[in-house]
Structure 1
Amino acid sequence: MMIRRFVQLLVGLTLYGVSLALMVRAHLGLDPWDVFHQGVAQRLGWSLGTVVNVAGALVLLLWLPLRQWPGLGTVCNVLVIGLAVDAALALLPPVSGLPARFGLLVGGVLLNALATAAYIGAGLGPGPRDGLMTGLVRRTGRSVRLVRTGIEGVVLIAGWLLGGPVGVGTVAYALLIGPLVQVLLPHLTVQPAGVTSSGQASGGRWNGA
């Protein structure tokens, strides 16, 4: 079971990087965090994947005062997504024409939802950015919606000021990603051995991975 979860984690993170590359090639806007990553990459002259990985590592440091500890999935998130996006961008040629760009955007958002559900469903730890959100929710007592909106609002504005791409893709991602992941996640959540679909284990109530 652990091997299945680890493989699903790596596949999900790799597909996440590919989905980001598709949205980059669409040139119609990125999600808030990747607007920031792209803006930093343009200013520093680094590859997008390098910025994604470095930013993930720096965000992970913010977990320390929140007394939050990374899981295997968290560490893999920092290492894998950036490598995957750089590899995918090297293989995907630029496209022209609005229909083709919209096609890449739609494919990128759908693939991103599938990838997100896959790596979350593996149950091996949240990504650095999601962990920052949940840590702040726990420490401040604020709602998930308020904390997530605040974090993503800050990084979106910062990314836009740095020259990151904001557009229809940014809006589409914000509106669609939550409902899509909610639909896909139950199908990709791996239950630990001995746990039934209702959450009952032989030793009592199961409280999650």
Structure 2
Amino acid sequence: MHPFVRRIAQLYVGLVLFGFSTALMVRSRLGLAGWDVLHQGLADRTGLSIGHVVIAVGALVLLAWIPLRQRPGWGTVSNVVVVGFAADAALAALPSPGAVVPRSALLAAGILLNGIATGLYVGAGLGPGPRDGLMTGFAARTGGSLRRVRIVIEAAVLLAGWLLGGSVGVGTVAYAVAIGPLAQAFITRFAVRVPAEAARSGQAAESPERTDPCPAF
């Protein structure tokens, strides 16, 4: 398979699986990742589906890239749209179990699948997610460390989502602990090596080695 075709295919498989992993965590009702707490809270307040909120928030975050002088890639724009639609489609198909054991299984599957999906779409090297670009942009403009900027932004997002009624629980903590190592392992596994000639000709939009290993999509 041609490397660019593989990168495109890997990108979209990863984004669809990312949306599916979000739906798994929503159906577990045991707590969500920080940004998804905000998405769920906004969805509850507005009556929109969580997928539509994911798209709307992603578009607004992408607009914030302009003053930060961040440059989106094809994968960045695709991320804004595909993850939200995939999440809504998965939520329409998934059951909502009542017992704790199947809910816990959904949570574990969601976190693991999220790590795999992250490895696929980041490893494709076609641009970071809009929320990641926001963090790296703020870090570059303020001179702060990426870790500190990430903590501040995600804490603010989590607090806002919780105040809006988003789901915070054991899943929130489990995701925060597990996603970094999972994402790093799968990014290493799925990173597409772009030939030097392609990189020189400008076909490499974003090298996986320079992408934040713990994306928030």
TM-score by length of 2: 0.90
User: In 2, Cα distance between the equivalents of 1:168 and 1:202?
Assistant: 46
Aligned equivalents of 2:69, 2:25: Cα separation in 1:
34
1:193 shift after superposition: 2.5
Report the CA distance between 1:183 and its aligned residue: 1.4
- Deviation, structure 1 residue 30: 0.1
Deviation for aligned residue 1:202: 9.8
Q: How does 1:45-194 map to 2 (within 5 A)?
A: 45-194=47-196
Q: Which amino acid aligns with 2:72?
A: P
Which structure has the greater CA radius of gyration? 1
The total of aligned residue pairs comes to: 202
Is residue 8 of structure 2 the alignment partner of residue 9 of structure 1? no
Residues 171-200 of structure 1, C-alpha deviation per residue, up to 9 Å, x if partnerless?
Answer: 0000000011111211100001358xxxxx
The equivalent of 1:37 in structure 2 is: 39
Unaligned runs of 5+ in 1: 196-200
1:69-116 superposed Cα distances (whole Å, 9 cap, x missing partner): 110000000010000000000000111100000000000000000001
> Which residue identity lines up with residue 189 of structure 1 in the other structure?
A
TM-score (norm 1): 0.93
**Does the 8 Å CA contact 2:122/2:191 hold for their aligned counterparts?**
yes
Counterpart Cα distance in 1 of 2:96 and 2:26: 9
Alpha-carbon distance in structure 1 between the residues aligned to 2:27 and 2:9: 27
Which amino acid is the alignment partner of residue 62 of structure 2? L
Q: List 4+ stretches of structure 1 deviating above 2 A.
A: none
- Percent identity reads 59
Q: In 2, distance between residues paired with 1:202 and 1:189?
A: 18
1:165 is aligned with what amino acid? Answer: S
The 3-state SS of whatever aligns with 2:21 is: helix
